[in-house]
């Protein structure tokens, strides 16, 4: 039975000392105030630092910070600390989903959807998320009004001119000519705020706009060449901000992005860009046949092509992070499988190719020592069973990529914090002295079976404890 810091502790105990002799009024003696420290005792601690599990552990929390975490000998419990007995349970760092999209302004408002989604993420043990580009200023303002949310870091989307102006060009398809609006218009209809960058623009001003919007980094989305990527990465790094981007950003390839110093690339299937020549990478985008061309080249065997493995080796050497986002592709595939159409669309053929290819590229990346962050590409919109999740991503990393549960957990704790960078890299991802008190208590061992991540007893964020049921029912605990 646990005792919770928010329950049942009297603030002061006043002891009346009676005098047998009468005369002067009896003095009031104040008992010592309880120690503000919370001690979680007897759990098995997996602290995410890389050391093995510590049984019968003591984790001390004061306010929003971890005071000490380790064996009973390493962390003596202060005499009057509030104690939570976690015997037989597992204490792990709060989980980090380094790739989500939270804001979808359909019909002008997404507040209700956002609030429920963030509560649900927290209930799953996800205490930190990085929004990979929606609308930082609007998102962060909305999150500040909500009570129960993970920590939210936001990235600013940047894309090249062709993303904003494609001339409403006609695209020849099997069904005739199709007219497509510029992708930026689709985004802006959701309230997202991509910034346009031309090669001759001042990159530092883009970074300044991103920072003013509250973004902690830049997400390169599409239609950027190597020169643009290089300038934007240099400007962001001058300002101490990380740069991530899609693999690839047409025409710049994932290899070029890594060589330009980009901190991370997302989407395993995007490594298919390496299989095109520089000229193809530039022209495929213009006539809108990118998906068709990718579906043709992105076979499972192509994942072992030297152009792919060379790019992965460079990423490993440079320390470029890689987010495969396998669960999002799995959801897309499930959607098409459920449709049972006789004539697959170009989109479906692309998804089917991207699924097998991306899985095999991820296996190569792991084999070659590329740093993995387990971002899921979760979206806070639509039917909840169709949304990618961190849990789903971790299951795929274990079941399909053969990561151990420990390696998968590191990709969603310590390494995800490093992938996000900034404050997250300094204060999150591991249970260590001085870090934020973001923890998850599980009733089952996640190192034995990654599915045991669904045995959440409670979640602590910033020193405050939440129960999954309370978050999902909407009843506040404190
Ligand atoms: Zn995404």
Q: Is 234 exposed, middle or buried (0-12, 13-18, 19+ CB in 10 A)?
A: middle
Strands 151-160 and 217-222: parallel
Nearby residues of 185 by Cβ (< 8 Å), 6 or more positions away:
none
Q: What is the pTM of this model?
A: 0.90
- pLDDT computed for residue 176 by the predictor: 78
> What Rg value do the Cα atoms of the chain yield, rounded?
25
Could you tell me which residues are beta bridge partners of residue 171? 178
398 near 416, Cβ under 8 Å? no
Phi/psi at 128 (5° precision): -145, 140
Query: What's the farthest any 2 CA atoms get from each other in the chain?
Result: 106
Q: How far apart are CA 241 and CA 136, in angstroms?
A: 14
* C-alpha of residue 368 to centroid of ligand 1, in Å: 24
Considering only CA atoms, which of 81, 86, 48, 87 is closest in space to residue 67?
A: 81
* C-alpha of residue 338 to centroid of ligand 1, in Å: 23
Q: How far apart are CA 357 and CA 359, in angstroms?
A: 5
- pLDDT computed for residue 302 by the predictor: 96
* C-alpha of residue 14 to centroid of ligand 1, in Å: 57
* C-alpha of residue 179 to centroid of ligand 1, in Å: 25
Element (H, E) at 440: strand 439-442
Name the residue with tokens 């003013």. Answer: 212
* C-alpha of residue 96 to centroid of ligand 1, in Å: 15
- Dihedral of CA 259/274/290/392: which sign? negative
- pLDDT computed for residue 112 by the predictor: 60
Name the residue with tokens 């330009």. Answer: 260
Q: How far apart are CA 196 and CA 187, in angstroms?
A: 13
Residue 381 φ/ψ region, left for φ over 0, alpha for ψ in the -120 to 50 degree band, beta for the rest: beta
Strand ranges, E, within 103-173: 126-131, 151-160, 170-173
- Helix, strand, coil percentages (3-state) for the chain, rounded to 5, are 40, 20, 40
* CA–CA–CA angle 197, 203, 209 (5° rounding): 80
The series of mean pLDDT values per 10 residues for the chain, 478 residues long, is 39 36 59 84 98 98 98 95 97 98 75 83 98 95 94 98 79 73 87 95 98 98 96 98 95 97 97 93 75 90 97 98 96 85 80 94 98 95 84 98 98 98 97 98 98 98 96 63
- pLDDT computed for residue 18 by the predictor: 36
* C-alpha of residue 5 to centroid of ligand 1, in Å: 38
Which tokens sit at 400?
């399909």
* C-alpha of residue 86 to centroid of ligand 1, in Å: 37
* C-alpha of residue 72 to centroid of ligand 1, in Å: 43
- pLDDT computed for residue 26 by the predictor: 62
355 Cα distance to chain centroid: 21
Considering only CA atoms, which of 261, 207, 184 is closest in space to residue 229?
A: 261
Name the residue with tokens 């079941």. Answer: 399
Name the residue with tokens 């020549």. Answer: 277
Nearby residues of 26 by Cβ (< 8 Å), 6 or more positions away:
16, 17, 18, 19
- pLDDT computed for residue 107 by the predictor: 61
Considering only CA atoms, which of 7, 81, 10, 9 is closest in space to residue 41?
A: 81
Could you tell me which residues are beta bridge partners of residue 441? 91, 458
CA distances (Å), origin 466, targets 81, 258, 379, 476 = 20, 40, 23, 9
* C-alpha of residue 124 to centroid of ligand 1, in Å: 20
Strand ranges, E, within 138-290: 151-160, 170-173, 176-179, 195-197, 217-222, 243-246, 264-266
* CA–CA–CA angle 371, 377, 382 (5° rounding): 170
Q: How far apart are CA 308 and CA 329, in angstroms?
A: 19
């Amino acid at each position: 039975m646990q005792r919770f810091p928010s329950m049942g502790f009297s603030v002061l105990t006043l002891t009346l000392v009676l005098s047998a002799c009468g005369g002067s009024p009896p003095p009031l003696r104040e008992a010592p105030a309880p120690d503000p420290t919370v001690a979680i005792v007897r759990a098995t601690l997996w602290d995410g630092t890389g050391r093995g599990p510590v049984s019968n552990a003591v984790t001390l929390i004061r306010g929003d910070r971890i005071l000490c975490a380790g064996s009973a000998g390493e962390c003596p419990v202060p005499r009057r600390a509030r104690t939570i007995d976690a015997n037989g349970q597992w204490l792990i760092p709060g989980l980090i989903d380094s790739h989500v999209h939270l804001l979808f302004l359909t019909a002008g408002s997404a507040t209700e959807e956002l609030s429920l989604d963030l509560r649900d993420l927290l209930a799953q043990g996800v205490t930190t998320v990085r929004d990979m580009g929606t609308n930082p200023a609007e998102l962060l303002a909305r999150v500040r009004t909500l009570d129960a949310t993970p920590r939210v870091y936001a990235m600013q989307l940047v894309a090249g001119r062709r993303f904003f102006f494609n001339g409403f060009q006609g695209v020849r398809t099997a069904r005739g000519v199709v007219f497509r609006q510029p992708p930026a218009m689709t985004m802006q209809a959701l309230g997202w705020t991509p910034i346009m960058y031309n090669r001759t623009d001042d990159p530092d001003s883009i970074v300044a706009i991103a920072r003013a919007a509250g973004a902690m980094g830049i997400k390169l989305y599409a239609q950027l060449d190597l020169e643009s990527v290089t300038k934007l990465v240099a400007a962001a790094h001058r300002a101490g901000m990380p740069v991530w981007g899609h693999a690839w950003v047409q025409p710049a390839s994932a290899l070029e992005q890594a060589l330009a110093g980009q901190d991370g690339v997302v989407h395993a299937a995007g490594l298919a860009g390496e299989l095109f020549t520089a000229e193809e990478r530039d022209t495929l985008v213009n006539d809108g046949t990118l998906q068709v061309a990718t579906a043709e080249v992105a076979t499972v065997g192509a994942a072992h092509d030297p152009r792919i493995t060379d790019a992965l080796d460079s990423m490993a050497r440079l320390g470029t992070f890689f987010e495969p986002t396998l669960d999002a592709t799995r959801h897309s595939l499930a959607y098409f499988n459920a449709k049972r159409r006789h004539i697959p669309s170009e989109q479906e053929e692309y998804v089917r190719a991207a699924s097998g290819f991306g899985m095999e590229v991820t296996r190569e990346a792991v084999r070659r020592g590329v740093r993995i962050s387990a971002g899921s590409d979760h979206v806070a919109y639509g039917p909840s069973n169709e949304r990618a999740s961190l849990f789903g991503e971790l299951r795929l990393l274990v079941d399909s990529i053969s990561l151990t549960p420990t390696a998968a957990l590191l990709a969603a704790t310590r390494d995800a914090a490093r992938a996000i960078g900034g404050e997250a890299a300094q204060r999150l991802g591991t249970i260590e002295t001085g870090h934020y008190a973001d923890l998850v208590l599980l009733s089952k061992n996640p190192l034995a079976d990654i599915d045991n991540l669904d045995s959440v007893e409670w979640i602590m964020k910033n020193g405050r404890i939440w129960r999954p049921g309370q978050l999902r029912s909407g009843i506040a605990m404190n």
